[in-house]
Chain A
Amino acid sequence: MSEPKEQTLEVWGNKVETKVLTKGSGPPLVFLHGAMGLTWDPFLEQLSESFTVYAPYLPGTAPGLPDAIKPIDNLWDLVLVYYEIFDKLNLEKPGVVGHSFGGMLAAELAATNPERVAKLVLMNPIGLWLDENPVKNWMTTSQLELGPLIFSDPTGPAAQLMATPPADPEEGIQMALRTTWSLACTGKFVWPIPDKGLKKRLHRISSPTLLLWGEDDGIVPPVYADEFASSIEDTAIQIIPKAGHLPQLEQLEPVVSVTNKFLTS
């Protein structure tokens, strides 16, 4: 696969600099990454065969720009920053796919201004809270404990890939730094409980919405799919068997196929 194009954008009165990975042709599709940061993975690669995929780094998480998180104080700022990123990319009303933290952000973008999102795919999104099924605090869970929560098969190839550190020590440091700092930056908008009032705003979403959920998600259990669906008008729920919190890694083909079908229907 060829590398995506990387471009740097300035937004927020030129106080925030971030990067966007772009690849493909076809209708525009924005991908919003989860708490661990952005990686151009086979899922994005396959989507780029049908869409022009734009994958922005949450400000602060792009390589070399750790301080870009500082001028963004809260979720309201962050939502506006993302509209500005859309503007810079000339995206009037793209499809938006958001995973985990990015799912919450995608829902906020679609709820705040429903005119900016054509179709919405929420993959194992956070953003709601049920006392009887609390979202697991991924920021304070040890690596050892995290595996079985994230993966349906903690010994499968996806889990193995994630558990294998890079051979080059310097690359290992850079990877740990990127992941930890991504958790820190995304954590700014959700700590200590990832419920910042999205429940009250979900009814504003007017775009057709697909809730795509790994059946064995130990971070945000699939019971949350019903909770999202109960507040959004036009929703479909697709539970992906044999997948956890990262269905696009564990069940690539079905996830790509369901996503493509929903976005092109």
Chain B
Amino acid sequence: MKISAFHLMPHRDLPDNFEEEYHSVWVDPPFWDLATPEQVSKYYNWTLDELVHAAKSGFDGICVNEHHQNAYGFMPGPNVMGGALALATRGLDVACVQMGATLPTTNPPIRIAEEYAMLDCISEGRLVAGMPLGTAMDANMAYGITPIEQRERYYEAHDLILKAWESREPFAFNGKYTQLPMVNVWPRPIQNPRPPIWVPGMGSLSTWEFAANNNHCYCFLSYFGHAQGKAVMDSYWQFLEEKEIEQNPYRVGFLQLVAVSETDEQAEKDYAEHVKYFYNKGLHIAPEFTPPGHQDYRSLENNLRRQLKGQANAREGIKNWSYKDYVDKQFVISGGPSSVVEQLENLIDSLHVGNLMVLMQIGSMPHELTMKNIDLFTNDVLPHIQDRWSDKYENNWWPERLRTKQPSSELTAVGGAE
């Protein structure tokens, strides 16, 4: 099992009436109404401190991602964060999981080949190269990419980046979206021929095919928890089985919100308001900011049929959910350590997942509470789940020099964890 701490770098102090007064958390929230640069400076530094603390406390990896014009997460330059994190975690056996720089919006895309190679060099071979397609809000709205071209741009950029890393000789690249007379990237990644590649997805068949055909790790980044995510993950495993691809759990990743406290009761006291903030304010996204064409024709038809059956939007009706609803439905795994361990074991078995990303800082969660969550998770939860799968499967989707890391359960076996 490889377990990484994921961070969105959200605005932690949106007004109580945010979802009533403002149109959307993404694309058009007015910055000067809602934030100050000084406040944001504090958030960035908290975010970096929290991820570094997670790394030092025993997580296998730390994750950042890319969003634009978004109050629930605004790291427009994930590699800026990655550079700081790679340096701050020097000497630790911790992967820098960039989930990552968005391919269709980076022009020319060899910028990503260059920056990821830099990060791999600075981190001394600890990079996981996330390759996101990008959301409609980021790619179409904030960065102006033509919706119907976004996926094709993604495939082309992916091919260019891999060729740029792997080619021994300079080459000319004659793409539809990128033409370059002489590609000769400096530097090259330490990992040879390239870092492991993770492809974040939301369950579309096109992305499954892409990840499987290229032998990349497919990561289902859902905010709706493993119970909701199971249908998608089951279908993906079935899809791989039909293609006769090995059912290695490290072939997939999953994102889960996790909140640990001393007891189940204390967890509710600590985290209830932050969980509600996350779903009610953080995911207050205007649907019209996903313009026609962002979904390909097949996915569009699937979605229209799912809407008809009333199973379109997992968020429908959650406005009035209580903390208990979120936990019961496993949108959030929360509670005292033993309860969280049990829930995570269920998740791991149920999804057959080897690369788990956990969101430790949720919505408005303040810095001190986030540090507490990280401490309790790494002390009392992580050791119980970290060595799952490791005796049976090889994680080919992890930086090679970190694959043999000792599970912390062995390190802390004497005296126990609880």
Contacts and interface: CB of A to CB of B under 8 A. Distances in A.
Nearest to B287: A142
A252 interface: no
Contacts of A181: 292, 297, 300
Interface string A128-168: 00000000000111100000000000000000000000000
A12 to B, nearest CB: 16
B293 interface: yes
B306 to A, nearest CB: 11
Interface string A168-193: 01001100110011011101100110
Interface stretch (B46-54, B113-121, B142-150): B142-150
B304 A176 contact: yes
Given A139-B292, A141-B288, A142-B286, A187 B146 contact: yes
Contact of B297 (A67, A142, A188): A67
Nearest to B304: A173
B140 A180 contact: no
Identify which of A67, A142, A183, A192 gathers the most chain B CB atoms within 10 Å of its CB. A192
Given A73-B176, A177-B301, A187-B292, A192 B308 contact: no
Contacts of B147: 139, 184, 187, 191
A183 B308 contact: no
Interface string B120-147: 0000000000000000000011001011
B292 A180 contact: yes
A187 to B, nearest CB: 5
Interface string B285-301: 01111011100010011
A69 interface: yes
A66 interface: yes
A139 B176 CA distance: 25
Contacts of B293: 183-185, 187-188, 191
Contacts of B287: 142
Contact of A140 (B289, B297, B308): B289
B289 A66 contact: no
A69 B147 CA distance: 13
Interface string B352-391: 0000000000000000000000000000000000000000
A66 B297 contact: yes
If over half of A's interface residues share one DSSP class (helix, strand or loop), that class is named, otherwise mixed; here it is helix
Given A66-B297, A188-B293, A173 B144 contact: no
B305 interface: yes
Interface string B89-111: 00000000000000000000000
Contacts of B141: 140
B235 to A, nearest CB: 21
A192 B297 contact: no
Contacts, number: 60
A176 B297 CA distance: 12
B175 to A, nearest CB: 12
A188 B297 CA distance: 14
A46 B170 CA distance: 62
Nearest to B143: A192
A181 B293 CA distance: 7
A176 B308 CA distance: 11
Interface string A54-66: 0000000000001
A157 B273 CA distance: 47
A140 B297 CA distance: 18
Which one of A69, A73, A140, A176 has the highest number of Cβ atoms from chain B below 10 Å of its Cβ? A140
Interface in B295-318: 297, 300-301, 304-305, 308
A142 B288 contact: yes
Contact of B304 (A177, A183, A188, A192): A177
Contacts of A176: 304
Contacts of B148: 69, 184-185, 187-188
A169 to B, nearest CB: 6
B140 A192 contact: yes
A197 to B, nearest CB: 16
Nearest to A139: B291
A187 B291 contact: yes
B233 to A, nearest CB: 26
Contacts of A180: 292, 300
Nearest to A182: B292
B140 A191 contact: yes
Contacts of A177: 297, 300-301, 304
Contacts of A187: 146-148, 291-293
A140 B291 contact: yes
A187 B292 CA distance: 8
A159 B147 CA distance: 28
Contacts of B176: 73
Given A142-B287, A185-B148, A191-B146, A173 B305 contact: yes
Contacts of A192: 140, 144, 146
Interface string A2-33: 00000000000000000000000000000000
Nearest to A172: B308
Contacts of A141: 288
Contact of B149 (A142, A172, A173, A188): A188
Contacts of A142: 286-288
A264 B280 CA distance: 60
Interface string A183-212: 111011001100000000000000000000
Contacts of B305: 173
Contacts of A139: 147, 291-292
A144 B343 CA distance: 42
13 contacts: A66-B297, A139-B147, A139-B291, A142-B288, A173-B305, A177-B300, A183-B291, A183-B292, A184-B147, A184-B148, A185-B293, A187-B147, A188-B149
Interface of A: 66-67, 69, 73, 139-142, 169, 172-173, 176-177, 180-181, 183-185, 187-188, 191-192
Given A173-B304, A184-B291, A192-B144, 5 more contacts: A173-B308, A177-B297, A183-B291, A187-B147, A192-B140
The 10 closest A-B pairs by CB, nearest first: A184-B293, A183-B292, A184-B292, A139-B291, A66-B297, A192-B144, A191-B146, A142-B288, A180-B292, A188-B148
